């Protein structure tokens, strides 16, 4: 009787162990996880083409990465660390172009990633990141840039006059340019401090 009582817990443990051991994820789920962890071959190809001998190939690769947006961001950030000057330079250009994306998650991710680059011990990377951050709220309209530091009259020479909305601080105010889907903040000296999209703009 005592032996039977001792055997019972062991049998239960074995049964529980067998149940846990047999609980494997469905084959479809495992395959999906493996696929998700693999780099996109097209993005990898575009990254490799940034150092092509042909200008047209480099340009097409850069445009492909820009259009890929958030999906390509990790590969572009890695390319910034390349030993090839052309690849590094192109990667920063792509990063800046991505910061202009109408897709807010992409633009925000680029902004966060660019700020992280400032922590790098590589002074060249830090300098390039600072250039991007300085221009992060600039916008190109009809071939002309609306940039931080511009006066209101300079902006209106490009965009025309639209409408004021409520101020957001002492002397600070915002202009909405509906035709161009832009919102521009000005400081007390009527100089641009921020440019963003009206609908899906960046913070």
Q: What is the mean pLDDT of residues 88-109?
A: 87
Mean pLDDT of the chain: 76
Return all residues near 67 (Cβ < 8 A) that are at least 6 apart: none
Q: Are 105 and 70 in contact (CB under 8 A)?
A: yes
Return d(Cα 142, Cα 145) in angstroms, integer. 8
For 12, the token pair is 């239960």
Encode pLDDT of 47-66 as tens digits: 999 999 999 999 999 999 99
Encode pLDDT of 143-175 as tens digits: 777 877 889 888 888 888 777 666 666 678 888
Sorted by where each starts, the structural domains of the chain and their CATH numbers stand as 40-135 (1.25.10.10), 139-197 (no CATH)
- Which DSSP state fits 30? H
pLDDT band at 108 (very low <50, low <70, confident <90, very high): confident
Q: What is the mean pLDDT of residues 107-118?
A: 87
Residue 92 has pLDDT above 80, yes or no: yes
Residue 114 has pLDDT above 50, yes or no: yes
Highest mean pLDDT among 35-39, 74-78, 81-85, 170-174: 74-78
Strand (E) or helix (H) holding 38: none
Which pTM value belongs to this model? 0.54
């Amino acid at each position: 009787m005592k032996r039977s009582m001792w055997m019972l817990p062991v049998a239960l443990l074995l049964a529980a162990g067998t149940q846990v051991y047999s609980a494997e994820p469905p084959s479809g789920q495992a395959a999906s996880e493996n696929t998700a962890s693999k780099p996109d071959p097209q993005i990898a190809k575009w990254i490799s083409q940034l150092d092509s001998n042909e200008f047209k190939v480099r340009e097409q690769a850069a445009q492909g990465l820009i259009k890929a947006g958030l999906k390509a961001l990790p590969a572009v950030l890695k390319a910034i660390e390349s030993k090839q000057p052309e690849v590094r330079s192109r990667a920063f250009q792509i990063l800046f172009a991505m910061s202009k994306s109408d897709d807010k998650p992409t633009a925000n991710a680029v902004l966060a990633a660019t700020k992280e680059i400032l922590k790098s011990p590589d002074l060249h990377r830090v300098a390039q990141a600072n250039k991007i951050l300085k221009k992060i709220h600039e916008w190109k309209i009809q071939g002309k840039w609306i940039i931080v530091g511009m006066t209101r009259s300079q902006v209106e020479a490009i965009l025309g006059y639209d409408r004021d909305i409520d101020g957001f601080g002492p002397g600070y105010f915002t202009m909405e340019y509906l035709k161009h889907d832009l919102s521009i903040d000005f400081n007390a000296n009527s100089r641009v401090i921020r440019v963003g999209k009206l609908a899906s703009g960046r913070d």
